[in-house]
Amino acid sequence: DTGVSQDPRHKITKRGQNVTFRCDPISEHNRLYWYRQTLGQGPEFLTYFQNEAQLEKSRLLSDRFSAERPKGSFSTLEIQRTEQGDSAMYLCASSYLAVPNTEAFFGQGTRLTVV
Amino acid sequence: DAKTTQPTSMDCAEGRAANLPCNHSTISGNEYVYWYRQIHSQGPQYIIHGLKNNETNEMASLIITEDRKSSTLILPHATLRDTAVYYCIASFKLTFGKGTLLTVNP
């Protein structure tokens, strides 16, 4: 297993377009987190899944954002009608629930640029 | 969920120990302290975590005060490659904060 994988690594899109990012967690990791990180700031929590259930969403996750994890494995994060303020690094992390308080492992992120 | 407070930046000489403090005065009894670091444009890298006992691994040591209101990450022999932003968090469901930019100088 090579760790958490995110695709694409970079995405440039025009304002108003929809974009979708994919995250493949470490095998058997049943918790999956999404974060957003802008320049000079730490990662901001967006949402997390336990298996296929989305258990918590940050108020940062506006109606234009939606995340899914249909089979409890990979997850997608979609942004509709992108705005320039959506330009950021989108990070995914996963952890293994069966080991309490275990650490989460991060992917390398998807860098979104909205022009 | 506890918030954490860290200094904005620190410097350390190469080969010396780097001691990075973190304040988490509102941490609850069952919340662990996790440390990550992030090198420019990469995803955060896990370093170490602990509850109340001191912890050590191949990367670092973690010292947690007895009242659990603060902790210190120790990099025993800092190298230039340890230059990064270091984050201390108590929950993955929180924003990380800005962390501490550690600069290791030759």
What does the pLDDT read at residue B92? Answer: 84
What does the pLDDT read at residue A1? Answer: 55
Least Cα separation, residue A13 to chain B (angstroms): 19
B27 CB neighbour count, 10 Å cutoff:
23
Could you report the per-residue pLDDT of B39-95, keeping only the tens digit for each? Answer: 988 999 999 999 998 999 999 999 999 999 999 999 999 999 999 999 999 888 888
Closest to B6 measured CA to CA, from B38, B28, B30: B38
Confidence of residue A101 (pLDDT cuts 50, 70, 90): confident
What does the pLDDT read at residue A59? Answer: 84
Tell me the torsion sign for CA atoms A109, B93, A51, A100.
positive
- Residue A2 corresponds to which tokens in the numbers above? 């090579």
What does the pLDDT read at residue B41? Answer: 81
What does the pLDDT read at residue A72? Answer: 87
* Closest residue in chain B to residue A36, using alpha carbons only: B95
Secondary structure E strands in B24-99 = 33-38, 45-50, 55-56, 61-64, 70-75, 84-89
A15 CB neighbour count, 10 Å cutoff:
13
Range of lowest pLDDT (A55-59, A73-77, B78-82): A55-59
Per the model's pLDDT, the better-predicted residue between A97 and A57 turns out to be A57
Give chain B positions within 8 Å (CB) of A56.
Answer: 93
Could you report the per-residue pLDDT of B1-26, keeping only the tens digit for each? Answer: 678 999 999 999 999 999 999 999 88
